[in-house]
Amino acid sequence: MASIIFEGVEKRYPDGSTAIRHLDLEIQDGEFLVLVGPSGCGKSTALRMIAGLEDITGGQLMIGGEVANDLAPRDRDVAMVFQSYALYPHMSVAENIGFGLSARGVAKNVIAEKVGKTAKLLELEPYLNRKPGQLSGGQRQRVAMGRALVREPAAFLMDEPLSNLDARLRAQMRGEIARLQKMSGITTVYVTHDQVEAMTMGDRVAVMRGGVLQQLGAPRTLYDAPDNLFVAGFIGTPSMNFLKADVVAEGESLFAEVGSLRLPLDAGLLAARPALAGYAGKSITLGIRPESLVSLGGAEATQGCMQGQIAFVEDFGATQLVHIDIDIDIDAADNLEEIVDDDGELALSGHQLRASLPGGPTLVSGASLTVSIDPAQLHFFDPQSEQAVRT
């Protein structure tokens, strides 16, 4: 096993484009770290640098305490699992798993022992004599993992290994990969664009955007305390609602006003986020998780509530994602358009809110609905810097 450390690592191409910008990141020995972000954010490039498949044009990469910038891929003691299984169709499962050892001249009896041990761990023993074409997608993925695992590398590198599987198999394999990593204790770097995979598998998650590390932390930390607007919108399903608000002072009290909606910022909230006091008389961006909204049915809207008409409902059984056309004048935060264009659906239109409500009788499109908002569950961001407003 080994730690992996990026110290100011950069990747610049001859045409002047930059894929990685001054990446500082320490992956601890035995840790399962997930690199997540939208397409083109640099996560796969970072993984390929660890593997030695991409040159480093700035900074230093260390693997197991050794500078690895100029090490050949074969000398790095890492094993990579790609998006495609890359199995040899004419070889059996046993031959595929043991191929890397065979190519290194390892004795046949040692290969057989290691292949048997790996197959048992991956529950592939009944399939050792089958060809890849006789296996399911999940079984083929396990064979690809077995070929990496049998080498007993210092680190696993996984580049979107589940993207070719259907939803049911992806869910199953997420658990299997996490279990395997815990049992083996091998340092693992896992790349995905799917934040559900990131949140459910990683010990820590590194969120990237435009080649820059946005935030590194435990999954729960990223969800509860995102450092900036991008992380707040990227982490969480469904994604966060963003609204432009004005912070208004009345005597010693502060309120966040969104159109005709007025949310009191009480003493407890200000104690937890003292920097909010400096926004009196200024605009701020509010972030509201859809699951933080509570339905009050058709009740009249009072302070801390919003009322509107249901546009449509996505019924997931246990929950309903309700799209609400709200009655008050709300504008999306001015600086969110660029995020929407680059990275997908991270912001709402100016007059619609999404609420994740418990399942039950399906709500009807066109019906009136009032939702309440607990100010303690709001997130606050600076409209210019996009950074979280906390301390």
* Whole-angstrom distance, CA of residue 31 vs CA of residue 1: 10
* CATH architecture for the domain at 237-381: Beta Barrel (2.40)
CATH 3.40.50.300 domain position(s) in the chain: 4-233
383 within 8 A of 283, measured Cβ to Cβ: yes
Q: Which CATH superfamily is domain 4-233 in?
A: P-loop containing nucleotide triphosphate hydrolases (3.40.50.300)
Q: Which of 210, 370, 384 is nearest to 298 (CA)?
A: 370
Residue 197's contacts (CB-CB under 8 Å, 6 or more residues apart) are 34, 36, 162, 170, 174, 190
* Whole-angstrom distance, CA of residue 169 vs CA of residue 166: 5
Looking at residue 184, its pLDDT comes to 84
Looking at residue 300, its pLDDT comes to 73
CATH 2.40.50.140 domain position(s) in the chain: 237-381
Looking at residue 343, its pLDDT comes to 44
Ordered per-residue pLDDT tens for the chain, 391 residues: 689 999 999 999 999 899 999 999 999 999 999 999 999 999 999 999 999 999 999 999 999 999 999 999 988 989 888 777 788 999 999 999 998 888 888 899 999 999 998 898 888 999 999 999 999 888 888 898 888 888 888 899 999 888 877 788 788 888 888 888 888 889 999 999 998 899 999 999 999 999 999 999 999 999 999 999 999 999 998 989 999 999 999 988 899 998 778 889 988 899 999 999 999 999 999 999 999 999 988 777 677 788 899 999 999 999 999 999 987 655 444 434 444 444 444 444 457 889 999 998 878 999 999 999 888 899 999 999 999 998 8
Looking at residue 328, its pLDDT comes to 65
Looking at residue 338, its pLDDT comes to 43
* Whole-angstrom distance, CA of residue 136 vs CA of residue 133: 8
What predicted TM-score, i.e. pTM, was given to this entire model?
0.88
